[in-house]
Amino acid sequence: MTTTAWRWAAPKGAGADELYFEQVELADPGPGEVLVDVRACGVNPADHKHLGRDADADPQPIGYEVAGVIAALGPDAVLGSGGGAVGDPVLAFRIRGGYASAVVVPAKDVFARPAGLGEAEAANLLLAGTTAAEMLHVTGVQPGESIVLHGASGAVGVSVLQQAAPAGVRVVGTASAAHAEVVRRFGGEPVTYGDGLEARLRERAPDGFAAALDAAGTDEALDTSLALVADRERIVTVVTGPRAQAAGIRSIGGTMPASAAFRDSVRGRLVELAGNGRLVVPIARTYPLDRAREALEFLRGGHPGGKLALVPGPDPAPPRLE
């Protein structure tokens, strides 16, 4: 038996501009696999940035996380959170090909979705959340310390804020003036990025910061981190560029084996926090799945003010290509 699904994909080596929407027949889940009927797809900057990098996949899948309902389980399939039955609400990360109305994925990457966690929020919890957890981990941030966080109003930023605040960490977070309130809402002290940032940050921490976490990737973020943090080992960026490499600061990414192992190991804990309402995922917009290009275009603008989710239509999803 097969399942008909709609999905987005790109030709081998092509970027996000060449994404196409197509109908596919999915085979039943094999051993250790689960078929998820997708109710929301998470949208991340990595989705478009990573397209074109994979030299082998043809077509290239897009989308690393979803929320949905289990439609079928293959033999010996046990969820990452344990158990699993048809009809269970779940979320899945790190998967490939998440921009789809249904996906077959390894059961170990699927977690029961707590009752209090919405579909759009669940679909956007773990890529940003595990990245934030790793940034705090690799910089060795301790209770009572003051740190600077660049990109504090973004998806990674608000997750860092929420994971750091309960641990008694003081976070001074850079954001646009328009998103200062986002930083404040999640326990951070907002400082507007742009000309004069170093002076404004020094006012908040005359002796400098214990660590810098960069989710903005600008020269300004790098320069102020280097100026205000004495120990380079305690500066991390998730937006690797040539200057960061030349400066010898730590750079992490989900495709690095150590990062992948750490991030996989914290998924269950983050799902629990979100289920208890202690890790919130602000949603800025939702789009029908067939309007994924529009969502990516908005995200590329750089100031989404929250997460985006793609929502598949009724089965089969009607193709509404512009």
Ligand X SMILES: NC(=O)c1ccc[n+]([C@@H]2O[C@H](COP(=O)([O-])OP(=O)(O)OC[C@H]3O[C@@H](n4cnc5c(N)ncnc54)[C@H](OP(=O)(O)O)[C@@H]3O)[C@@H](O)[C@H]2O)c1
Among 13-21, 34-42, 222-230, 300-308, which window interacts with ligand X (CB under 6 A)?
300-308
Piece in contact with ligand X (CB under 6 A), picked from 29-37, 118-126, 148-156, 163-171: 148-156
| DSSP conformation class of 116 | T
Name beta bridge partners: 6: 23
The three-class DSSP label of residue 293 is helix
Q: Is the Cβ of residue 7 or residue 150 nearer to ligand X in the bound state? A: 150
The nearest distance, CB 210 to ligand X, in angstroms, is 21
User: Residue 261: CA atoms inside 13 Å, Cβ hemisphere, count?
Assistant: 2
* Binders of ligand X in range 163-202 (CB under 6 A): 174-176, 179, 193
- Note whether 8 and 99 are within 8 A (CB): yes
What's the rounded Cα separation, in Å, for the pair 280 and 185?
11
Binding map of ligand X across residues 46-85, x = CB under 6 A, - = no contact: x--x------------------------------------
Please report how close the Cβ of residue 114 comes to ligand X at its closest, in angstroms.
22
Residue span binding ligand X (CB under 6 A) among the ranges 32-40, 141-149, 247-255, 286-294 = 247-255
CB of 10 closer than 8 Å to CB of 62: yes
Cβ neighbors of 241 (< 8 A, separation 6 or more) are 217, 222
Compute the least distance from the CB of residue 105 to ligand X, in Å: 20
Tell the smallest beta-carbon distance from residue 27 to ligand X (Å).
31
**Degrees (nearest 5) of the Cα angle 127, 131, 137?**
150
- Min CB(214)–ligand X separation in Å: 8
Encoded one letter per residue, x for contact with ligand X by CB under 6 A and - for no contact, window 216-245 reads: xxx-------------------xx------
Cβ proximity to ligand X: between 68 and 154 the closer is 154
The H or E element spanning position 303 is none
Helices and strands, number each (H, E), in the chain: 10, 16
At its nearest, how many Å lie between ligand X and the CB of residue 177? 8
